[in-house]
Amino acid sequence: MGEEDRTPLSSFIRKTLAQSLSLQLLEETTSQLQNQPHFSTACSFNTNEPPRVFKTPKTNFTRNSGFSSLGSVEEISSCCWNCKTRRPFLICESCGSVQPVDHSVDYFRIFGLDRRFDIEDGSLEGMYKNWQKKLHPDLVHTKSKEEREYAAEQSARVIDAYTTLRKPLSRAIYLMRLEGVEVDEEQTVSEPELLGEIMEIREAVDEATDSQALNKIQSQMEEKLRHWCNSFANAFGSKSFDEALKSIQRMTYYHRVNEEIVKKL
């Protein structure tokens, strides 16, 4: 039997094995789920209960204590306060009730995004507008006082999420927080090379007398920002948090210079 003949057979065996394994896994998972009451589609507590507020304690971000959003107790137990559907999201899809804020849901999930630095252009804006439309006071004004309050809180949180994720620097800092790494934005630079560069740039900005000169520095800063954004994305992707912090520090400086230029323009 030649090499060519064996390959299809072995791949066929692998495929069949994989299929039967995944089927077995599926069966096991299904039976496990059926045995766990909190995985049912509806919540089990008494439907005559008054609306319950599932307030989760505000998360404190501290180093080395990253919080996980998936599978947390809060999330599993969260049900629509009105129709008890499991895991409603901002607004219950079954009955349309506005839900109280669930802090275990991170900003990325609000917009249906993966927890990663690179986000597709426009993916944020569309979802943001969509949520703001659904939570708009005009649309919820006929609802109960509680629901109107929930809508206002959800809306404020959606705005926070959008503002944080929209800009690369704040998005990077937020991602680090989710990993339990607190970024000190006021940390002073100790690297002589970077210090020298910053001083040079500052001088150039001070001395720039016309918008042309400022625009030139601005495009240089934007390029540097792009470079360090890429560095951050790579470092974060490979969980090299020290490297990621270094990138954030540089992003912070170039971002500040950019802000100064905008003020002067």
3-state helix, strand and coil shares in percent for the chain, rounded to the nearest 5: 60, 5, 35
Compute the least distance from the CB of residue 24 to Zn ion, in Å: 35
Query: DSSP string spanning 20-81?
Result: HHHHHHHHHHHHHHHH-GGGSSB--S-TTSPP---PPPPPP--TT-----TT-HHHHH-B-T
**80 lies in the binding site for Zn ion (CB under 5 A):** yes
Compute the least distance from the CB of residue 96 to Zn ion, in Å: 7
The interface region with Zn ion, picked from 44-52, 69-77, 94-102, 202-210 by CB under 5 A, is: 94-102
The interface region with Zn ion, picked from 3-11, 55-63, 89-97, 243-251 by CB under 5 A, is: 89-97
Q: Encode burial over 137-154: b for 16+ CB neighbours within 10 A, e otherwise.
A: eeebeeeeeebeebbeeb
Q: Which two tokens stand for residue 235?
A: 């470092």
Q: Which two tokens stand for residue 196?
A: 């020298």
Please say which residue, 92 or 124, places its beta carbon nearer to Zn ion.
92
- Pair 178, 115: CB distance under 8 Å: yes
Compute the least distance from the CB of residue 46 to Zn ion, in Å: 16
Q: Which two tokens stand for residue 146?
A: 């509680």
Q: Binding string to Zn ion for residues 1 to 40, with x set by CB under 5 A, is what?
A: ----------------------------------------
**92 lies in the binding site for Zn ion (CB under 5 A):** yes
Q: Is 109 exposed, middle or buried (0-12, 13-18, 19+ CB in 10 A)?
A: middle
The interface region with Zn ion, picked from 97-105, 132-140, 171-179, 253-261 by CB under 5 A, is: 97-105
The interface region with Zn ion, picked from 36-44, 90-98, 129-137, 236-244 by CB under 5 A, is: 90-98
The dihedral formed by the CA atoms of 26, 28, 33 and 36, expressed in degrees to the nearest 10: -170
Among 95, 156, 195, 199, binds Zn ion (CB under 5 A): 95
d(CA 166, CA 169): 9
Compute the least distance from the CB of residue 200 to Zn ion, in Å: 59
Among 56, 69, 77, 83, binds Zn ion (CB under 5 A): 83
Please say which residue, 80 or 233, places its beta carbon nearer to Zn ion.
80
Among 82, 154, 155, 247, binds Zn ion (CB under 5 A): 82
Q: Which two tokens stand for residue 75?
A: 């999330």
- Pair 185, 64: CB distance under 8 Å: no
Compute the least distance from the CB of residue 76 to Zn ion, in Å: 17
Among 94, 170, 231, 234, binds Zn ion (CB under 5 A): 94
How many chain residues interact with Zn ion (CB under 5 A)?
8
Q: How many CB atoms lie within 10 A of CB 97?
A: 19
For Zn ion, the binding residues (CB under 5 A) are 80, 82-83, 85, 92, 94-95, 97
